[in-house]
Structure formats: C-alpha cells, structure tokens
Amino acid sequence: MRKRPPLSMSLYNISDVCQITFAFFAMKIILTGSHGFLGTAFSQFLAVKGITTIPLLRHENGQREEGIVWRPGVDPKCLDGADAVVHLAGARIDRRWTPAVRREIESSRVDFTRALCGALAAVPHPPARLLCASAIGYYGDRGEETLDEQSSQGAGFLADLTAAWEAAAEPARRAGIRIVHLRLGVVLGRERGALARLLPLFRLGLGGPVGGGRQYMSWIHRDDAIGAMLHLLELPNAAGPYNLTAPQPATNKEFARALGRALRRPAVLPVPGFALRAVFGEMASETLLASARALPQRLMDSGFAFRFPDLDAALRNLVGA
C-alpha cells in the first residue's frame, strides 16, 4: 500500500502525542472516517512515525488516494489480515435534526458499524482489535452527576443512538474481536471541531456562556484523544467503553471564561438557550445545552497520562497563547 501524501504538522507538534512502541511498526491498521477531524489527526500522527494506515474509502478517489473502497456488495475479504481497525466514521451531528438528517446520522453509525463488524467477523483472519468511535452522548443530560463508564444510559436521541451504535459491533465481538468503544467528549482542536467553530467569535470578544452556562462540558484536547486511542490499541485486554474526556470537566461558563483568558478577550456575552433551541431545535438541547460531567475513569485506572488534564493549559496550547 502506497503511503499517504506528506502531511503538514506545522501548527502543533503532533509527534509529541505519545511515545509509540515497536509493535506499531508492524501493524496493519484499517481506518474509517479517515478524512474527518480525528481520522486525519490519527493517520497524520502515525504517518510521522512512518506507519501507514489503510483508509476505508466510501467513494472511489481516482488516483489521489489508495485504500479499500467500501461499497455495497464489496467482498469482505478486502478486510482480511488487518491487525486492528479504527472505526471513526459518522455523519455530522451539529446541524438541525430533520427526519432525513436523523436517518443519515443513524445509518452512518449503526448500519455502517453493523455491516463492517459483520464483514470483519466473516474474514479468515479477523483483526485482534477494533476501536469504535462512540460518544458521551450515551449518558444523556445528567446535571451535576459524576459519570463514569459504569453509569447508566441516559435518555434522548443521542443516548439511544450511541447505545445502538455500540450494540451494532456485536457480530465482531461474537467473533472474538476485542472491541473498545471510544466514548468521546468534546474534542478540542485548532483547525476543526467545536473549538475551531467558536474561535472566530471569541477572538472578536463576542463569546460567552450559552444557556446559563451551568451545564458540564466534558472536553479533551485532540492530542490526548489520539494518545488515548494509541494507548487503547496497545493496552492488553482493553475492551468495552472508555470515556475519552479530560479528568477535569468544566461547566460551560468556566469553559467560556478559560477561552477568554487564553485569547485575552472578554467572554461574557451570554447566548440564551431559547435562541439556540429556536435555531437548532433538539440538537441544541442534547448537545450545547445538555450537561455531562464524565470522568475518564478507565483510562486513568489503566495508567494513561494526559498531556493536557488542565483546561487553561489545553486552550493556551490550542490558541497559541
């Protein structure tokens, strides 16, 4: 498989994400969602180390990129012989959830995961390990309650979606593949993701807490999210859900203040919840306005060392202060 094109890492030093061990160099890793925020960062990090991931492409990509093209009727044997699969695909959540958008969000996660896992279960040499994206949306809107991987499923579209998404991996689990569900919090990165969308407003001094700001936001620096994924690829016996969140969740108000401090800008202009609900409907209620105070209990128990456990340090790193 040809290496992906050289990748720019100039903005921040992705090679410092974490040390990787010799075992990775011999690994064949298939990656879905490879063009996304996390998929790009994950493959860039490994590329810097000289390790090539094999993208699972949803479309023919001409001569521009090699990978496995995944379309209905494809022979599942194209997945044979991988050591690990990292499955990050999923259609965007951050838009108004019309019935068509809900179907796309569900199908790109639940149906895709079920099809992929069914195929992986059927190949002669299945991978030992599958990391599947998931989300702390599993816990729903839980106020000040501290949540870890033992906490129960919450209510709402995202909680039901996430539970179905995790359950869709069952065929692979039955085939003996070790499955890790990456229950991701809000991943903070400079170029893409939630922070990147907030930055223009906050840079102008027009940012502030949303919906009163008391809701908890479980965030994680992008480098720690990638580091945790690598850690879980290597951790013997890792299986089941892992919260990928920093050890210190912040309320929305604390987050807005910290971002204002990092940018040296005021961040006091509140955005009322009703305005967000009017524009984004249920999406706003279940994401921006919902409270999830999730702790990365299993990551901490497994000895994962966060580079950015502290929100101020994470934001200073990301906004370049």
Ligand X SMILES: NC(=O)c1ccc[n+]([C@@H]2O[C@H](COP(=O)([O-])OP(=O)(O)OC[C@H]3O[C@@H](n4cnc5c(N)ncnc54)[C@H](OP(=O)(O)O)[C@@H]3O)[C@@H](O)[C@H]2O)c1
- Minimum distance from CB of 94 to ligand X (Å)? 9
One residue of 184, 228, 262, 283 binding ligand X per CB under 6 A: 184
234 scored as a contact of ligand X (CB under 6 A): no
Check if the beta carbon of residue 267 is closer than 8 Å to that of residue 260.
yes
In this chain, which stretch among 17-25, 86-94, 143-151, 245-253 interacts with ligand X, using CB under 6 A?
86-94
Give 195's contacts (C-beta < 8 A, 6+ positions apart): 188, 189, 259, 315, 318
Which residue's Cβ lies closest to ligand X?
A: 36
290 scored as a contact of ligand X (CB under 6 A): no
58 scored as a contact of ligand X (CB under 6 A): yes
33 versus 296: smaller Cβ distance to ligand X: 33
Beta 178-184 vs 240-244: how paired, if at all? parallel
108 scored as a contact of ligand X (CB under 6 A): yes
| Burial of 93 (C-beta count, 10 Å sphere; 0-12/13-18/19+) | middle
Q: What angle do CA 310, 130, 141 make, to 5 degrees?
A: 50
Q: What angle do CA 39, 43, 49 make, to 5 degrees?
A: 155
- Minimum distance from CB of 124 to ligand X (Å)? 26
246 scored as a contact of ligand X (CB under 6 A): no
314 scored as a contact of ligand X (CB under 6 A): no
- Minimum distance from CB of 220 to ligand X (Å)? 8
Q: Which is nearest to 126 in space by CA: 169, 177, 89? A: 177
39 versus 126: smaller Cβ distance to ligand X: 39
- Minimum distance from CB of 26 to ligand X (Å)? 25
Distance set, CA 24 to CA 68, 77, 249 (Å): 20, 23, 31
Which residues sit at the interface with ligand X, rule CB under 6 A?
Answer: 33-39, 58, 88-93, 104, 108, 112, 133, 135, 184, 186-187, 193-194
